[in-house]
A and B are shown apart, each in its own frame.
Chain A
Amino acid sequence: MKTITLTRAHGLAGVAAMMLGSVAWSGAAFAQGASNASTSTDAASTNAAAATTNAAAANAAGAQANNFRRGGGSGGGGGSSSGGATDPGVRGGDPGAGGPLQGLNDTELSFFAGAKDVFQEVDAVPNGLGPRFNLDSCSGCHSHPAIGGSSPPTNPQVAIATAAGAKNTLPSFITANGPVREARFVRNPDGSPDGSVHGLFVISGRTDAPGCNIKQPNFAAAVASNNVIFRIPTPLYGLGLVENVPDSALQASLAANAQQKRSLGISGHFNINGNDTTIARFGWKAQNKSLLLFSGEAYNVEMGITNDLFQTEREGDANCQFNATPESVIPLQAADLASPSASFQSDIELFSSFMRLTAPPTPASGAAAPVAQAAGAAGQTAAASTQTTGTAGQTTGTASAASTPASTASTMIASATADVSSVMTAAVGSSTAAQPASPSTSGASVTRGNQVFTNIGCQACHTQSFTTTKSQLTGQSNVTIQPFSDFAVHDMGSGLADGVTQGTANGNEFRTAPLWGVGQRIFFLHDGRTKDLNVAIQQHASRGSEANTVINNYNMLSQTDRQSIINFLRSL
């Protein structure tokens, strides 16, 4: 609610959060009035066992790689053969993220500033928080390496559990140094599919919620029965550009190089919105059709704030209703924001605008950087993605604004600003703290890493680039972005399966996680089970995963080349 002032003094630990990477309902389900994330009994039953196994895996700090041959079975021998490749840890230096898109005009920039302010607002019960919630602001979850990112190093959920007099018990899977998490139950008590988000905390006991006495879900029992899975916040940078990639470009990308993908065991499909049959592309399972839907669901599911899209309180206890609903609506009187037009927007409009206007993360120099579209492409439907061409260094080389004719609408939306060797870190193992530079992460290694990444097939799903179509925003038409994702969902096998069906993504399937900004990420995979990129790579392989062949290729590389891939990823 815009009447709440951003309380900087709370700091990260005190600030709360909102939009975990995925919310409960797909766009299709929402439009059709469905209320359950997991609507396929068969899919849920098929995936339940794998999902529950992975709840335990996610709980184990520093999860180890799966046996890449038999998924942990015996007789085949093996295990990770990638010894020697070390994740240098979170890349230090300037975050290179959290700011507005380059090229916006003054009006758009002020709108961005206003939206970003609201994105950071902290809510309490009088403003709609709860009755069940996971955190009390958007930016609490989406904060690293800058506002709009993913989970911070210190989990603010620990502090919010007992804020304002609340007496919430901290679930075992929420720790001070662990990732921000939302929890979903795989199945209902009667065995039917669940899949929805269950708020970690309740407002009971808070000084601003007198008389409310609801209890937290029994997470200990859910953990004990392997009936809970987790999701961490997805980074929000650059999503307006992702939103503006036409479906035709995504479809062309997935269809491109089909024979190469088949030689790697890869297929994949899009999470198609059931009503308009377009591609949903946001969230861990690409279950959300739009940024607005993403915002509205998260506001309700993560913070418990009803809004124009999700008008109904999920918790019906009459003693815990303190506000008229919907709690957040379009204001009839202007809020006090820098942008006059932003002052008349609802919170969820401003959240989606923040995502739409925020720039992609800036890679280190020597890594792939977003580049200008070639002359003459303005106004045309975007071409298919670039999947197999060029090294990082070459791509960066094309990013020269001076090489782009001024007469085109092309725009360089981010640029490489830092030298790789000055920003890569040297920590052995993954540290959440930015570390000093390491000679092992030289520009040459990063460039080689990009080549190896492409050569062994990572790029078959982690598609390097797309070009946007016409945009309402100044300077954002026909720009080439480098998200390193095909935005399709792929079967990731029993090792990562969460048993939750969302839209047309089943319990084994996840959207290819965009890798831009991964160099500054702390936690990896949908449940944040590891801080180590090498472990995250190995976890791509398990029974039934489309990534098995590529991970086998990775494991057959020389130690130097495995390291170069890690270094390349940390440069993004």
Chain B
Amino acid sequence: MRISLYLGIAACLAGMGVVLHGAILSSGDAGFIQSNPEAVSITDGGFVSEYFDLSYRVPEGWAEGLPGPPPSQSGYYVLGTWAPKGDFAGTIMVAAQDTFFEPDSSDDVKSIVAQFRQVISTVDGMTIDREPSQVSIAGRPGYRVDFSGVGLFRSMFAIEIRCHVVTFNLTTHDAELLARLAGSLDSLIPVRKETSDSVPECVRDYASENVVHRVEPQAVGTRSVSIPVRLIVAADGSVKHVHVIRASAAQARNIEDAVRQWKFKPYAGQGDPVEVETGMVFNLKPASM
């Protein structure tokens, strides 16, 4: 059933000629679309993210912009960008920050937006046009802040999904257009038909504190490297999915091969064991050291 669903999604995406962003995908994992935050389908009309359970339709006449960089070592992703097909009047940039690898992970999205507002307000020539305020984004509580300077009008919307802060960053040189772009976020809707309890719970540091059987990945190359990795641990404690966020293909392969052999204490949550999603950083040493 699930595999059919994924194959259906994949076929649909292929038919649309969309791009699946993400450098490292576990091709052998039929569930990677739903388990991989980078697996976003981008079109001129918007994007669909199974992982974040979001579908977004950009305003009429807008097209896909330049893609952003690959995921950073701190788990920052640019999920998509768009701009008008004609006059270059604005941009939309959707990004996500994995809070597992965020130094200030204790901050919730409200605090993050407040910090953002504080920093922006110190920029020479910048004005806060709308103080951080709670909004509903795709049925989820989020926060919005508007600011402007040097003739550009900008807005950031932020929501928290699966231990990521997902932001919608709107920029225009026209205040009215900014309002229309903000209105386009009303098109954000969930894409999954399954109930929300099918999404793993996300728990920081679960891997480091609850592993009962561990196999070390083989080192690759001549340098020490830190590699961020997301895991989904099944209810029985086995590893269901490994997502290496930033690494070479060889490093990712070695990590996946090793981590798939790991066993964890099942995560009880608030009752019966459930799937849990967590993150960890592998510090791979050179083979010769």
Using CB atoms and an 8 Å cutoff, list the residues of chain A in contact with chain B. 28-29, 32, 34, 39-43, 46, 68-71, 75-78, 81, 255, 257-260, 262-265, 267-269, 274, 277, 388-391, 451-452, 454-456, 490-491, 493, 503-504, 508, 541-546, 548-549, 552-553, 555-558, 561
Contacts and interface: CB of A to CB of B under 8 A. Distances in A.
14 contacts: A70-B66, A75-B44, A77-B85, A77-B86, A258-B103, A263-B116, A267-B72, A274-B223, A390-B124, A543-B67, A549-B171, A552-B65, A557-B173, A558-B151
B128 interface: no
A258 B225 CA distance: 22
Contacts of A548: 65-66, 68, 81
A43 B23 CA distance: 11
B250 A42 contact: yes
Contacts of B44: 75
Contacts of A257: 119
B126 interface: yes
Contacts of B69: 265, 267, 490-491, 493, 508, 544-546
B281 interface: no
List 7 tightest A-B contacts by C-beta distance, closest first: A267-B72, A42-B248, A491-B69, A259-B116, A455-B150, A274-B223, A76-B63
B90 interface: yes
B152 interface: yes
Interface stretch (B1-9, B91-99, B229-237, B267-275): B91-99
A42 B83 CA distance: 32
User: Chain B interface: which size bin?
Assistant: 35 or more
A42 B249 contact: yes
Contacts of B249: 42
Contacts of A543: 66-67
A66 to B, nearest CB: 8
Contacts of A274: 222-224, 286
Contacts of B120: 260
Contacts of B278: none
Contact of A549 (B81, B150, B222): B81
B152 A456 contact: yes
B169 interface: yes
B103 A255 contact: yes
Given A259-B115, A259-B119, A389-B122, A68 B85 contact: no
Nearest to A67: B66
Contacts of B115: 259
* Of listed B66, B67, B122, residue having the most chain A CB within 10 A: B66
Interface in B155-185: 156, 167, 169, 171-173
Given A455-B125, A555-B88, A556-B88, A549 B248 contact: no
